[in-house]
């Protein structure tokens, strides 16, 4: 039984990573599916850099996805395992929200954190048609949309708060191998 519980939770989390890829790639970036609720918010996230949709909008979107999943899941998986599978999806979704936000607001303290940031900011600033996974590149490998980032040119007006020294406007030395700022420098007073 313990094995079944763990498998249901893990399958739920893996399902979320797949949903994360599909929602981002097709609702966020495929013109055939626009306009749509997620796409509008996501384009703003790209064009304004540090814009994140309001919590209530995320909650509406999550409720719609859950409403579609709950019926078939409980029918197929039964009450307990079906509920745990849904719990796995919800927990992984909440972890994704936390993770994505932190990619934008903090430099990342681990190798994996730095890797996923480069993966994500390559998508943001170099090619929005690739690297759709935010918490991992797994589904980019599966769908052949993975690109290994070289140096990422970040528009100055969209830069992440952790990228450059606010006093000089220069990229911090530890990030210079991976990122460069482009666009006009702010005028010195």
The minimum distance between CB 140 and Zn ion, in angstroms, equals 12
The minimum distance between CB 49 and Zn ion, in angstroms, equals 9
Q: Which residues bind Zn ion (CB under 5 A)?
A: 28
Q: Phi-psi region for residue 153, left (φ > 0), alpha (ψ -120 to 50) or beta? A: beta
- In the bound state with Zn ion, the residue whose beta carbon lies nearer, of 12 and 42, is 42
- In the bound state with Zn ion, the residue whose beta carbon lies nearer, of 12 and 28, is 28
- Rounded-to-integer distance, Cα 180 and Cα 4, Å: 48
- In the bound state with Zn ion, the residue whose beta carbon lies nearer, of 28 and 77, is 28
The minimum distance between CB 187 and Zn ion, in angstroms, equals 28
Q: Which residue is nearest to Zn ion (CB)?
A: 28
Burial degree of 111 (CB within 10 A; 0-12, 13-18, 19+)? exposed
Q: Phi-psi region for residue 172, left (φ > 0), alpha (ψ -120 to 50) or beta? A: beta
- Rounded-to-integer distance, Cα 119 and Cα 134, Å: 8
DSSP letter, residue 23: I
The minimum distance between CB 123 and Zn ion, in angstroms, equals 6
- In the bound state with Zn ion, the residue whose beta carbon lies nearer, of 8 and 130, is 130
The minimum distance between CB 21 and Zn ion, in angstroms, equals 11
- In the bound state with Zn ion, the residue whose beta carbon lies nearer, of 73 and 131, is 131
Tell me the torsion sign for CA atoms 84, 90, 94, 100. positive
Cis peptide before 35 (omega within 30 of 0): yes
């Amino acid at each position: 039984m313990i094995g079944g519980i763990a498998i249901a939770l893990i399958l739920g989390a893996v399902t979320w990573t797949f949903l994360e890829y599909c929602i981002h790639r097709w609702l966020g970036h495929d013109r055939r599916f626009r306009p749509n609720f997620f796409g509008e918010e996501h384009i703003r996230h790209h064009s304004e850099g540090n814009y994140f949709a309001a919590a209530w909008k995320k909650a509406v979107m999550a409720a719609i996805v859950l409403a579609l999943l709950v019926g078939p899941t409980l029918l197929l998986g039964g009450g307990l395992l079906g509920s745990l599978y849904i719990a796995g999806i919800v927990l992984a979704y909440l972890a994704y929200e936390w993770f994505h936000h932190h990619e934008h607001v903090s430099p990342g303290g681990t190798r994996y954190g730095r890797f996923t940031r480069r993966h994500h900011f390559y998508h943001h600033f170099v090619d929005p048609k690739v690297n759709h996974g935010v918490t991992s590149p797994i589904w980019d490998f599966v769908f052949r949309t993975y690109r290994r980032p070289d140096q990422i040119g970040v528009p100055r007006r969209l830069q992440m708060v952790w990228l450059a020294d606010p006093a000089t406007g220069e990229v911090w030395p530890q990030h210079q191998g991976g990122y460069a700022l482009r666009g006009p420098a702010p005028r010195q007073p």
